[in-house]
Amino acid sequence: MPSGGETDRIFWRVVAHAATRPLNLAVLALMALAAVLVAPWIAVAIIPVYGLLVAATVNDPDTAARLAAGREQKQLTSGRKLDGVTGELRLRVAKALGEERRIQTELAALPAAADDLETQVRCLADDLVEVARRASVVDLYLGSVDLADVRRRHEAATGRTREALAEQLAVTDVLVARRAELDEEISHVEAALPAIRARLVQARMTAVAPSGLVDDVHALRERMGILAASLAEAYGSNDPTTPKGA
């Protein structure tokens, strides 16, 4: 539940949104124009009508919920944009970024932590977003291809058509395998981040600086980088939007 101060900030955001809502401003402009061109008495009603429109927008619970959700999402992802990350993967990445933000909070309260750990965790989160974007591109491609139909056409085809379809199937099989490996690594990161935070909390309780975390995070980044590179290679380095043989 939002605190009192947070509730006030959301309220004033809703008011500002209502006051500048295009529909409300359009009605205001049309009434002003009508007052000039048609009937001057309409000017008397401009402010009351505009006020009613603003009030109606402010009292709309969906508006407040939408603005609050947008703010919460921005906080959850530490300000990172998730453009290009699609489907269930978007939710998973957002959750992982929320965990990264909580790790940074723990690090701020733990001066004894390694100086490089904060940077490594932030870079790991950045890497996760980039890897998720690449994985989403592959997901969109795989979702657009009817592999059963491609296999039927391949069986019935001859000559160069059969060769092209065979290449598409071969590349697609590699994409599926690499994408599965990448998903396993993303799951590993999802599990590793809470474990890292738990070790930081333990370090605060015992007043003993955690050891080995920087190397662990660095190893995660290296593994994701290798898998992302293999995925990009399978997808085709010359044309990032069309797999080889498609």
pLDDT value of position 211: 78
pLDDT value of position 3: 46
Which residue, of 30, 54, 73, is where some domain finishes?
73
Per-residue pLDDT band at 164 (split at 50, 70, 90): very high
Both 101 and 49 in one domain: the answer is no
% of the chain at pLDDT higher than 90: 13
pLDDT value of position 1: 44
- Please name the residue that has the structure tokens 């009817």: 146
pLDDT value of position 241: 43
Residue 46 has pLDDT above 80, yes or no: no
Give yes or no for a contact between 50 and 18, defined as CB atoms under 8 angstroms apart: no
What six digits make up the tokens of 116? 């490089």
Residue 7 has pLDDT above 50, yes or no: no
What total of structural domains would you count in the chain?
Answer: 2
Q: Nearest to residue 10, comparing CAs of 50, 58, 53?
A: 58
pLDDT value of position 54: 67
pLDDT value of position 162: 94
Residue 67 has pLDDT above 70, yes or no: no
- By residue range, what is the domain housing residue 69? 4-73
pLDDT value of position 236: 61
Both 66 and 81 in one domain: the answer is no
71-114 pLDDT, tens digit each: 444 444 456 788 888 888 888 888 889 899 888 888 887 765 55
| DSSP code string of 97-160 | HHHHHHHHHHHHT-TTS-HHHHHHHHHHHHHHHHHHHHHHHHHHHHHH--HHHHHHHHHH--HH
Residue 223 has pLDDT above 80, yes or no: yes
Both 62 and 85 in one domain: the answer is no
Per-residue pLDDT band at 63 (split at 50, 70, 90): low
Question: What integer best gives the mean pLDDT of the chain?
Answer: 77
Is residue 240 one of the residues assigned to a domain? no
Is residue 24 one of the residues assigned to a domain? yes
Within a 10 A sphere around the Cβ of 208, how many other Cβ atoms? 10
Is residue 246 one of the residues assigned to a domain? no
Residue 187 has pLDDT above 50, yes or no: yes
113-137 pLDDT, tens digit each: 556 788 888 888 888 898 898 889 8
What six digits make up the tokens of 27? 């009605």
Which residue, of 73, 94, 111, is where some domain finishes?
73
pLDDT value of position 57: 67
140-153 pLDDT, tens digit each: 989 999 999 999 99
